[in-house]
Amino acid sequence: MEETYLLNVEGVKKKILHGGQGELPKLQDGSKITFHFQTLKDDFERTVIDDSREAGIPMEIIVGKMFKLEIWETLLSSMRAGEVAEFWCDTIHTGMYALVSRGMRRIAEGRDPLEGQKHRCGMGNMFDYHSTGYPDLDELQRTPQPLIFIMELFRVEEPSAYKRDTWAMSKEEKLAAVPVLHSEGNRLVLRKEFAQAAAKYQEAVICLRNLQAKEKPWEDGWLKLERLVTPLVLNYCQCQLELGEYYEVLEHTTELLQKHNDNAKAYFKRAKAHAAVWNEREAREDFLRVAHLDPSMAAAVKKELKQLGERMRKKHVEDRKRYQGLFQMPRGP
């Protein structure tokens, strides 16, 4: 089945290679499109530039999230589920392909797609960097040309039909997700599933940090979000204590205390992490700071200091025995 269509878009031709099923999808902001694609040059050999099947993972894009090759949304919106189609696109639609392909290749290689870029628009970055790192893409960058896209559409999912990644959520969706993630984390802690709980708390923190990045530090909007972040970070650190990830706790509590140096709970968790890695002086300083900031925690601090003293004495005895054995002269025959 090879019928050629002219879509209502200048410089695009469509040829259906295999018919699909059902109605045309109704795309809206947040819809997720899953498909395979192949990109070819419009030359005699139909040279293959990219093929998502080589990576073994279908391509996914979220409608309305500024995917740099806007024409793809138009092409996919003309397809039914299961359809395979070939699209010829003129240069007016393919000028950004080298940059888009560079990012997709980097992701497939497990690298940061924005590695080395300045904070500028995509076209600005194209002029800043004379090489994409891939010779075939450098050629496309120097001489933009028509391209052929062969696409196989698998499915279109509405925003409510799949678990959306944090980056794909709107501001309202992120704010709504935070209390849900917080509650899920608490439920997992009660079941002592600390790794899973930590992941929930971390995801909630990421949502809030993304929103904070758009606010001016220490102003009302930023502070309001920070008040939501702090208990989530503390819960995350408690999970990491349970998992024995003490240096992770030291990193996050120290970062928190740099902004909130009167948070007794952060000092308490950092003190426990210091104690676990034998930083006796730092642990004692943090425990004493806790008792000063929050007298209601004095009993807990006293208990922790007693345990710390016992552990350190035991360690000193063991170390002394070990060193004595190390330097002891061997007996003769």
Q: What average pLDDT score do residues 236-246 get?
A: 95
Same domain, residue pair 108 and 190: no
| pLDDT at residue 116 greater than cutoff 60 | no
Q: Report the half-sphere exposure of 132 (CA within 13 A, side-chain side).
A: 24
pLDDT score at 311: 87
| pLDDT at residue 112 greater than cutoff 80 | no
| pLDDT at residue 296 greater than cutoff 50 | yes
pLDDT score at 122: 42
Report long-range pairs for 135-143 (Cβ below 8 Å, ≥24 apart).
136/49, 137/49, 137/98, 137/101, 137/102, 138/98, 140/49, 140/94, 140/97, 140/98, 140/101, 141/98, 141/99
The CATH number given to whatever domain includes residue 280 is: 1.25.40.10
Residue 236 lies in a domain: yes
| 108/159 Cα distance (integer angstroms) | 25
Same domain, residue pair 40 and 147: yes
SS3 content of the chain, % helix, strand, coil (to 5): 55, 15, 30
pLDDT score at 119: 40
Instruction: Choose the final residue of a domain: 157, 184, 214.
Output: 157
pLDDT tens, residue by residue, 14-24 = 999 998 998 88
- Residue 107's pLDDT band, with cuts at 50, 70 and 90, is confident
Q: What average pLDDT score do residues 232-238 get?
A: 96
How many domains is the chain built from?
Answer: 2
| pLDDT at residue 86 greater than cutoff 70 | yes
| pLDDT at residue 83 greater than cutoff 70 | yes
Same domain, residue pair 184 and 68: no
Q: Across-strand partners of 61?
A: 33
Residue 164 lies in a domain: no
Which two tokens mark 263?
A: 């948070």
Q: Between these two residues, 190 and 1, which has the higher pLDDT value?
A: 190
Same domain, residue pair 242 and 149: no
Same domain, residue pair 15 and 143: yes
Q: Between these two residues, 101 and 63, which has the higher pLDDT value?
A: 101
Same domain, residue pair 21 and 92: yes
Q: What average pLDDT score do residues 182-195 get?
A: 94
| 37/149 Cα distance (integer angstroms) | 7
Instruction: Choose the final residue of a domain: 105, 126, 157.
Output: 157
pLDDT tens, residue by residue, 246-290 = 999 999 999 999 999 999 999 999 999 999 998 999 999 999 999
- Residue 62's pLDDT band, with cuts at 50, 70 and 90, is confident
Same domain, residue pair 123 and 215: no
Residue 332 lies in a domain: no
Lowest-pLDDT range of 120-124, 154-158, 190-194: 120-124
- Residue 117's pLDDT band, with cuts at 50, 70 and 90, is very low
| pLDDT at residue 218 greater than cutoff 80 | yes
- Collapsed DSSP state (helix, strand, coil) of residue 1: coil
What pTM was computed for the model?
Answer: 0.54
As a whole number, the mean pLDDT across the chain is: 85
Residue 165 lies in a domain: no
- Give the structural domain span for 69: 4-157
Pairing type for strands 32-41 and 147-157 reads: antiparallel
The CATH number given to whatever domain includes residue 120 is: 3.10.50.40
Same domain, residue pair 258 and 304: yes
Q: Are 230 and 258 in contact, with CB atoms under 8 Å apart?
A: no
